[in-house]
């Protein structure tokens, strides 16, 4: 790993200062945590897979006109990013009942929701990321009403795109989490763009035929074969060679 001074070390990634002002390096670790970091493990190769899967998803979203912080992948574990002012919210989109919504409302896991539901959580480990309403978000100045409208609109576009992309390779997108950041354009006007990562760490992905879990729930629920499941997602998306390895070189310029 690089000897550079980290700006921020999270549970699964490290952020370093980038080569130019307004850029960052994002390094994907093999560390896995769940239940607010009470459960921890090192899953060899997870970081490499998430780097590649997130690159693939962010590039495709960029092509669809969704602005993201992703600039390019540099190597097996690192990406070059545009620096953003992170909005301290986790935006969760759900299509099918699972995880906390199933528990909160007594729903059966796997039951389709009447429509896609967007939820907001306040990013704060000490408080265990509490769910929040627009009232809290605007009152505490985490985001404006306009930021929220933009995040909801982008989250639903991401959901439509990803649902189709995964369904085409036999995977059902159950739910996922997004993070957004603010950037300032030449005229100093703030704009919200997609940030962080999109990978099996941040999505629930079930095989469309067998309902086998191909995501971080394999770790949370001790189902085993976690990295194998992530590799299966990469393989189906066509970003992993049939021999099981991911390509070594950086993404083309």
Residues that bind ligand UDP (CB under 6 A): 90, 92, 99-101, 129, 175-177, 202-204, 216
* C-beta closer to ligand UDP: residue 70 or 176: 176
How far apart are CB 103 and ligand UDP at their closest, in Å? 8
Two structure tokens written together for 212: 């086998």
What sign for the dihedral angle of Cα 151, 195, 199, 238?
positive
Closest CA to 230 of 42, 40, 49, 48: 49
- Please spell the DSSP secondary structure of 19-54, one letter per residue: SSTTEEEEEE-SEEEETTTTEEEE-TTHHHHHHHHH
The whole-angstrom separation of Cα 237 and Cα 77 is 19
Cβ closest to ligand UDP, residue 67 vs residue 99: 99
18 vs 234, beta carbon nearer ligand UDP = 234
CB 105 to ligand UDP: min, Å: 11
- CB of 32 vs ligand UDP, minimal distance in Å: 12
- Tell me whether residue 18 or residue 217 sits nearer to ligand UDP (CB atom): 217
CA quadruple 159, 230, 205, 77: dihedral sign = negative
> At its nearest, how many Å lie between ligand UDP and the CB of residue 36?
8
Residue 174's closest CA among 154, 133, 132, 202? 202
Question: In sequence order, what are the beta bridge partners of 68?
Answer: 194
Smallest gap, in angstroms, from Cβ of residue 232 to ligand UDP?
17
To the nearest 10 degrees (0 to 180), the angle between helices 226-236 and 46-63 is 30
Rounded to the nearest whole angstrom, what is the least distance from the CB of residue 153 to ligand UDP in the complex? 19
204 or 218, CB closer to ligand UDP? 204
Which residue lies nearer to ligand UDP by CB, 83 or 201?
A: 201
Q: Residue 227: count other Cβ atoms within 10 Å of its Cβ.
A: 20
């Amino acid at each position: 790993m690089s000897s550079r001074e980290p700006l921020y070390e999270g549970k699964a990634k490290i952020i370093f200062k980038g080569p130019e002002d307004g850029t960052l390096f994002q390094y994907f670790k093999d560390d896995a945590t769940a239940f607010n970091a009470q459960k921890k493990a090192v899953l060899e190769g997870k970081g490499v897979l998430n780097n590649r899967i997130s690159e693939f998803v962010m590039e495709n979203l960029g092509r669809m006109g969704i602005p993201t912080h992703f600039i390019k992948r540099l190597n097996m574990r690192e990406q070059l990013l545009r620096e953003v002012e992170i909005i301290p919210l986790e935006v969760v989109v759900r299509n099918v009942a699972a995880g906390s919504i199933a528990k909160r409302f007594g729903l059966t896991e796997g039951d389709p929701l009447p429509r896609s539901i967007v939820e907001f959580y306040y990013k704060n480990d000490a408080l265990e990321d509490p769910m929040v309403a627009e009232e809290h978000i605007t009152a505490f100045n985490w985001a404006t009403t306009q930021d929220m409208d933009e995040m909801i609109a982008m989250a639903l576009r991401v959901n439509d795109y990803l649902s189709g992309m995964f369904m085409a390779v036999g995977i059902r997108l159950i739910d996922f989490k997004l993070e957004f950041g603010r950037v300032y354009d030449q005229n100093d006007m703030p704009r919200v763009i997609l940030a962080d990562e999109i990978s099996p760490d941040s999505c629930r992905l079930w095989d469309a035929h067998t309902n086998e879990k191909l995501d971080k729930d394999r770790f949370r629920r001790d189902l085993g074969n976690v990295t194998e499941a992530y590799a299966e997602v990469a393989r189906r998306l066509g970003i992993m060679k049939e021999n099981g390895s991911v390509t070594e070189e950086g993404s083309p310029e």
